[in-house]
Amino acid sequence: MPTPPYRADHVGSLLRPAAIAEARRKHYVEKSISAADLKAVEDAEIPALIKLQEDVGLKAVTDGEARRSFWHYDFMGMLTGLDLVERDEGVQFAGVKLRPIFPTITGKLDFPDDHPMLDHFRFVADHTRVTPKISIPGPSCCHFRTAPDDIHPQEYKEDPQAIFNDLAATYAKAVAKFYEAGCRYLQMDDIFFAYLCDPKHRAAKQAAGQDPDWLIDRYAWMMREAIKDRPDDMVIGMHMCRGNFRSTHAAEGAYDTAAEAIFSTGVDIYFMEYDTDRAGGLEPLRLLPKGEQRVLPGFITTKTPELESLDWLKSKFDEAAKYCDLDQLGIAPQCGFASTEEGNAVTPDDQKRKLELVVKTAEAIWGEV
C-alpha cells in the first residue's frame, strides 16, 4: 500500500451525519441518552464516513471528527491540566459568534495515557483499507486560545517559556502515544500562524502584553520540539487557515509574516488555505525548503457549494510552480467541512463533489492520488 504524503488529501472534518447530530442533542442537551448510547450511534455511523472518503479515491481517511463538537477544544479539554469553562461571551467570527467556551489552564500540562482520541484513531484504523489519519489541534492552540488571566499555575505566570516547554513536552508525548496506537500519519493543526499575520489579531496580542512575532517564533519552536523525535515512518501534517465556523472566517492576511517560521518546523505536509484573497499571494511558497516536504494549497473551498473548474485549478498550480517545485505540491480543500459540529453551509452532496474534485485534480496534474 502507498504511504503518505499523497497528492490528494483533505483536512479532516466532515459534515456530521444526521443520526450523530440527533444523538449528540439527546445526550448533551436533553440528557435523554447515555454516553454509551451516543458512542453506539457514532460507531454505527462513522464507517459510512470512512467509506465515503475511500469511494471518492482518497488514500488517507479520518473519522470526520464526528465524535467532536470542535476541531480543537475537545482534544484540549482531554489534556491533563486544561479545562473548558463555559461563559456568556463567545469568540467573534465574521457575522457570527462561537459558542462561549474558554480553555483554562489549571495545572501542569500533560498528555494522559488514556486520552480518548487514541481510541478514536484506533476505530478508524480498524475500519479502513487505506491510511488512517487523525487531525488534532497543534500546540499553539492551547496557548493562543487561552487568555492570560485563565492561565493559573504560578510557574506559567512568572515564566512564559515554562508553558511553552510543557506544551512541547505534552505534544511530544502525544506523538509517541499515537505512534504506539498504530498512527503513522498525524496531522496537527496550527492555524494561529495565519492568525498572527492578521493586523487585528496582532494588535489584540500586543494589547494583552504579548509580542506577536515572538509568539510566531515560540509556536514554531514548540512544533519542532514536539515532532523532532518522531520515528522515521511517521508522517506529520499541519493545517493553517483563518477560521472556519459555519462558512465564516475570523482572520485575514498573507502568510509572509510567518512563512519563514512555518517552514522551519520540520513538518512533512503543509495544508495551507488559499481559497480567497484573504490568504494573500503564493510568494511565501518560495521559502519551502527543497526536498521531500510538501505543500497542499487549499484552492478548493469548503465554505461554499460552487465547484471550482479543473482548468482554473490547473492555472493556480502553474502559478504556484513559479515559487516551488510542482513535485513538492499536492491538493486538498482549504479547510475541513465542519470545524465545529454545526458544519459549513454546504450539503453532503456538495461535500462529496468537492472531495471528488480533489482526487480528479491530483490525477490530472500528477497522474496519481
For range 289-305, the mean pLDDT: 96
Residue 249 has pLDDT above 60, yes or no: no
Q: How confident is the model at residue 117 (pLDDT cuts 50, 70, 90)?
A: very high
In this predicted structure, what is the pLDDT of residue 88? 72
Read off the pLDDT of residues 172-185 as tens digits, 9 standing for 90 and up: 999 999 999 999 99
Kindly state the DSSP code that residue 297 receives in the 8-state scheme.
E
Q: Is 361:38 a contact under the CB 8 Å cutoff?
A: no
For range 10-34, the mean pLDDT: 96
Q: How confident is the model at residue 245 (pLDDT cuts 50, 70, 90)?
A: low
Residue 80 has pLDDT above 80, yes or no: yes
Q: How confident is the model at residue 164 (pLDDT cuts 50, 70, 90)?
A: very high
Cα angle at 263 between 257 and 266, to 5 degrees?
145
Average model confidence (pLDDT) for the chain? 93
Residue 25 has pLDDT above 50, yes or no: yes
In this predicted structure, what is the pLDDT of residue 49? 98
Q: Is 276:302 a contact under the CB 8 Å cutoff?
A: no
For range 114-131, the mean pLDDT: 98
Q: How confident is the model at residue 275 (pLDDT cuts 50, 70, 90)?
A: confident
In the chain, % of residues over pLDDT 70: 94
Read off the pLDDT of residues 256-274 as tens digits, 9 standing for 90 and up: 899 999 999 999 999 999 9
Distance between CA atoms of 43 and 259, rounded to whole angstroms? Answer: 40
Distance between CA atoms of 156 and 149, rounded to whole angstroms? Answer: 11
Distance between CA atoms of 130 and 123, rounded to whole angstroms? Answer: 13
Q: Is 299:39 a contact under the CB 8 Å cutoff?
A: no
Q: Where are the domains of the chain?
A: 18-366
Q: Which of 88-97, 148-157, 176-185, 282-291 has the least mean pLDDT?
A: 88-97
Residue 302 has pLDDT above 50, yes or no: yes
Instruction: Tell me the whole-structure pTM to 2 decimals.
Output: 0.94
Give backbone dihedrals phi and psi of 68, rounded to 5 degrees, phi first.
Answer: -110, 160
* Record: fold of 18-366: TIM Barrel (3.20.20)
C-alpha cell belonging to residue 266: 520540520
Q: How confident is the model at residue 77 (pLDDT cuts 50, 70, 90)?
A: very high
In this predicted structure, what is the pLDDT of residue 1? 74
Distance between CA atoms of 137 and 139, rounded to whole angstroms? Answer: 7
Q: Is 64:16 a contact under the CB 8 Å cutoff?
A: yes
C-alpha cell belonging to residue 114: 488514556
In this predicted structure, what is the pLDDT of residue 244? 57
Q: How confident is the model at residue 2 (pLDDT cuts 50, 70, 90)?
A: confident
Q: Which residues have C-beta within 8 Å of that of residue 183, sequence separation ≥ 6?
A: 121, 125, 132, 133, 134, 234
In this predicted structure, what is the pLDDT of residue 279? 67
Q: What is the dihedral of CA 57, 58, 63, 66, to 10 degrees?
A: -80
Residue 276 has pLDDT above 80, yes or no: no
Helices (H), 303-347: 310-320
Handedness of CA 44, 49, 55, 59 (dihedral sign): negative
Q: Is 246:96 a contact under the CB 8 Å cutoff?
A: yes
